[in-house]
Amino acid sequence: MQGLKSKTWQWRFDHPPEAIWPLVADTARFNEAAGLPRQQITEIPGPDGAVAYFAAARMGPFRLKWQERPVNWVTGQFFEHVRDFSSGPIAQLSARFDLAPDPASGGSRGTYTLAAAPRNFLGRLILATRFFDASGRTFARLAQEADAFAGGERATPFSYDAPSPTAGALALAARAVAAIEATPHGHGLARRLADHLMNAQEVDLWHVRPLALARDWAVPARHAIELCLQAVKAGLLDLRWDLLCPRCRVAKAWAGGLDQLPSGAHCPSCNIAYDRDFAKNVEASFRPAPAIREIVSGEYCLWGPMSVPHVMAQIHLAPGARRSLPGHLPPGPYRLRTLEPGGQCDIDHDGAAFPTLVIAADDISAGAPGASGQLDFVNDSARPRIAVIESRHWVADCLTADRVTALQAFRDLFSEDVLRPGDEVAIGRVTLLFSDLQASTALYERIGDAAAYHLVREHFAFMAEIVRAHDGAIVKTIGDAVMAAFARPQDGLAAALDMQRRIGSWNQSHLEAASREPASGAIAIKLGLHQGPSIVVTLNDRLDYFGSTVNLAARLQGQSAGGEIVLSREIAEDPAVAPLLAPYRATEKLIADRALLKGFDQATDFLRLAVA
């Protein structure tokens, strides 16, 4: 391009590429810290399904408009992007960053190249004077800060001057912190959350993710989730339900309550329609309440590698092009596709040489593996395509609806947040626990209705405490029975084990308090545990579960004798529960059994676990 000028900077980092890449490739965070303006994005689909991306921003006296080309990158190796301007002093701007290990130091080397072409005389003047020098100083500072953060020498990746909070915001935050810590859900973290909302970069506050906070703060996930839920009630945070696109994994529809959540959405970025799935793409998303800090809409970078961290590589390919790029991907499930709508190919990678991504006219396939440490791409179609290799693991820090609605804190604080009447949502897996008291009728006869009623109510509190401690929720009580839900099978089994281990001491304390003989008021709990798909509905103004998984869990409880847990094969054979069952394997305490259960046509295999 006429008048193109460029400059390259070399940086040395004390830390390896895997520590530096997530920071420097987080281009939205990088751009915000560099003082670049927010962008307003327009997405225009073309006749072939491909989407063109246009942006506008104001920088100083200039109103800038440009077409944003999707970024090329290979995770941990390089990224490059190009902007073609239709207004402003610059005609084209491109940037490329390459990262490589430095074997001599154990750190890494970074190379950053910035190139720009002027649109007019003013552009030529800007490029001839301070543009490159000013950019270089800013980028060098941010690179140095990223290196310090990677080494634990900084609390945040980049220096950032947050807007000064108003007196009203400070007063509200102080009241909210006190209110949160007065509940069981504060865990001593409320002040830390308030400070985060006041001081963090905007990119951290578009979606405040409790699981990310838990990791960054080194606290249990449940503590961070309960904190954020209580913070909504205290006025620190707002909660919304995001419907994430399964491709770009960005929310393209959202609602303030589950009763307003649509059953599907259209993603203009990917130009696809998609459905909701509580266990995959419905996320409980938090952001600061406007009275605490106003978050302005806009993007700092539309196409950065860390904006879609599940995408390992994204490469432009001309018709007939073949490209080989350095890159090594760890073992795991991957998807080969294009950025444009079309086919896809799922693979399970063993960690050896990665298969070639082959694009045909109407198909995507996995070709022969290339050389080790290399990623190969082939475009056999007649038009330009953008090849994508993505991990099939879902968003690491996504607090999905199936998980949060199976927490006791959510059901206690947001009992009104339910699906609209007649709506139902399928979830792929939930772990359900049913309990009942052994010989409860005889208990009422021995100690009287009033005493037995109070004992049963206290036993419900005992059960609820354990369920909450193991990241579950009481769905409902039915007579003397409890139905509880857990997002993970290991949590359900851990809760069941805890119940049976602690019921003896619970009995003893209650008998002593009531001055009763051991035989008169001791209770024994029968437990059944199963996992599988289910339907979530609203029943009696609360979220409930329906389907064969519910029926089987309830029937398994009916097979239990007091003091034991009856486990379905689906629970017992899940790898996640193996450490919990290991002490009982090959003992007389874990016994296989089989029975014809009411409502089921064929006999069901299950296991009995005697805990005492």
Read off the CATH number of the domain in which 37 is found: 3.30.530.20
Q: Is 135 found in the same domain as 34?
A: yes
In a domain, 413, yes or no: no
Q: Which of 346, 371, 391 is the last residue of a domain?
A: 391
Using DSSP's 3-state secondary structure scheme, residue 477 falls into strand
Name the pairing type of β-strands 40-45 and 51-59: antiparallel
In a domain, 225, yes or no: yes
Q: Is 597 found in the same domain as 458?
A: yes
In a domain, 26, yes or no: yes
Q: Is 542 found in the same domain as 576?
A: yes
Q: How far apart are CA 431 and CA 386, in angstroms?
A: 40
Q: Is 553 found in the same domain as 476?
A: yes
Residues 498, 214, 394, 495, Cα dihedral to 10°: 10
385 Cβ neighbours under 8 A, 6+ residues apart: 317, 338, 339, 340, 359, 379
Write the DSSP assignment of 300-353 as a string of letters.
Answer: S-SS-GGGSTTEEEEEEE-TT-EEEEE----SEEEEEEESSSS-EEEEEE-SSS
Q: What is the pTM of this model?
A: 0.85
Q: Is 184 found in the same domain as 130?
A: no
Contact 319, 378 (CB under 8 A): no
Q: Is 243 found in the same domain as 345?
A: no
The pLDDT score that the predictor gives to residue 439 is 64
Name the pairing type of β-strands 525-539 and 564-568: parallel
- What the block records as the tokens of 52 is 């063109």
The pLDDT score that the predictor gives to residue 589 is 86
Q: Identify the bridge partners of residue 168 per DSSP, sorted by sequence position.
A: none
- What the block records as the tokens of 24 is 């420097």
Q: Is 382 found in the same domain as 334?
A: yes
Residues 153, 159, 164, 169, Cα dihedral to 10°: -50
Q: Identify the bridge partners of residue 63 per DSSP, sorted by sequence position.
A: 58
In a domain, 584, yes or no: yes
In a domain, 304, yes or no: no
Q: Is 380 found in the same domain as 322?
A: yes
Sign of CA dihedral 133, 135, 138, 144: negative
Q: Is 119 found in the same domain as 46?
A: yes
Q: Which of 150, 185, 200 is the last residue of a domain?
A: 150
Q: Is 442 found in the same domain as 378?
A: no
Using DSSP's 3-state secondary structure scheme, residue 4 falls into coil
Neighbouring CB atoms inside 10 A of 519's CB total 8
- Tell how far CA 604 is from the center of its chain: 35
User: Tokens 């154990």 — which residue?
Assistant: 106
The pLDDT score that the predictor gives to residue 441 is 65
Report which of 601, 75, 7, 58 is spatially closest to residue 307, judged by C-alpha positions: 75
Q: Is 143 found in the same domain as 248?
A: no
Q: How far apart are CA 204 and CA 108, in angstroms?
A: 26
Q: How far apart are CA 239 and CA 303, in angstroms?
A: 26
Strands (E), 487-541: 525-539
User: Tokens 């990677």 — which residue?
Assistant: 150
In a domain, 524, yes or no: yes
Query: What is the domain range of residue 337?
Result: 310-391
- Read off the CATH number of the domain in which 481 is found: 3.30.70.1230
Write the DSSP assignment of 63-129 as a string of letters.
Answer: EEEEEEPPPEEETTTEEEEEEEEEESSEEEEEEEEEEEEETTTTEEEEEEEEEEEESSHHHHHHHHT
Q: Which of 96, 125, 150 is the last residue of a domain?
A: 150
Average pLDDT, 10 consecutive residues per value, the chain (612 residues) = 89 96 94 90 84 90 92 96 94 96 94 96 91 93 96 92 92 96 96 96 92 95 96 95 86 88 86 84 93 86 86 96 95 93 90 94 91 94 94 83 92 88 85 86 71 81 94 91 94 96 84 55 86 90 90 93 92 93 86 88 90 76
Q: How far apart are CA 316 and CA 73, in angstroms?
A: 9
In a domain, 301, yes or no: no
Q: Is 315 found in the same domain as 248?
A: no
In a domain, 295, yes or no: no
Q: How far apart are CA 446 and CA 559, in angstroms?
A: 24
Q: How far apart are CA 109 and CA 101, in angstroms?
A: 6
Q: How far apart are CA 463 and CA 452, in angstroms?
A: 16
Count of domains for the chain: 4
- What the block records as the tokens of 12 is 């040395």
- What the block records as the tokens of 541 is 């103004």
